[in-house]
Chain A
Amino acid sequence: MNILVCISSVPDTTSPINFIDDNKKFDNKNITFIINPYDEFCLTKAIFIKESVGATITVIHVGDNTNDPVLRKALAIGADKAIRVNQPARNSKIVANCIADYCQNNSFDVIFCGKESIDYNSGQVPGFLASKLNLPFINGCINLEIEGQSATLKREIDNGHEICKCSLPLIVAGQKGLVEEKDLRIPSMRGIMTARTKPLDVIESQIDNENLIQVIQYDKPLARSECKMISEDNVEQLVELLNQEAKII
């Protein structure tokens, strides 16, 4: 079984978010970059599948060499090989096109993406991939059992859950639930040592990369004004303020 896990490199959750170059670029000075948390659930799930039925796990990332550490970490966690497509990830379509291009020449039974990356929150790459490769797309995936050439999956849908069945190959957008947080694999000493011998191949993007959608400007939300404190003995005042000032009730 061949599994592909798509990895994004994102600023750590507690990173300050600031912009430079006249608010046209994210300021990544002193930022710690991590594997996108949703992708980590997918990577651990891939490892569970490998341990249960046997598989080769490839991780792929679209970006420049500053993100190699994140790929090495994925190898240390348990992936077998890493691919970096050397192409700036300017928008989701470009990322998906690069990954799809790689998939045309390498067949995979399951392609995992995290539900969305915590920086842009677009969640578009798995859908674009499914479209480009003409494969079934299961999003919001919180459980997956492989049975031979098909899979039974559980999805979180708007306001509920779905159980569905689909034959392989397929594309899964995964999130918490695919594995439990306490079961997430982390790099062991052995993992880190063996990661050095695992391949990290850099390939150049072969396709014409349309750049028709781009961010032209970033802004930060206005800071909230200072919190108005209300005495616990005068809760009625809160109700008044919510009605008169905030105009909500």
Chain B
Amino acid sequence: MCASLAYVARLRKDSSEEDGNLVIQMDRTIDESAAWEPKIIAFLCTWCSYAGADLAGVSRFQYPPSIRIVKVPCSSRISANLILDALRAGADGVLVSGCHPGDCHFISGNYYARRRFALLKNLLEFVGIEPGRINFSWVSAAEGERFSQIVREVTERVTKLGPASRLVKKPLPEITAYSTHSGAYQRTLEY
């Protein structure tokens, strides 16, 4: 979870107040609730969507830094196992993007993928995963600006839904004790 630091400056009167001295106390608190940013795993097909994202970068189109890109050869490489794995790992959202129908580099991959994704999306919403957690799009290699729009839209959707909690696999406490993540190590020392 992204934590932002908020400096809280408090004016506090010291015991030596009679002298008219004011002691300014600066407290540094970690405000975890403010400015949470979602983590969205974006599976992009190499030939169209990844190139489109690259074009967005080269053309300096701004989009929120919420996506983590995984380059795959084709959108049909993405199976339901992978999407669920992203959700289990704690991703707040998933974006899968491929070539436009008819333009797949492998001719028909995105056609099969389209059927698969439609069914998966409906099934996940049926069992209660919030609509908007997983998203699909077709982005071609020339659509840099559109890619940035799509990322903006997905980030908005996922931010509104809040951090993911329904299909997240939390690691066992014993494992976090040995992880290199210092925060977790510090916490377990308290027991």
Q: Do A and B bind each other?
A: no
Q: Footprint of B on A, CB under 8 Å?
A: none
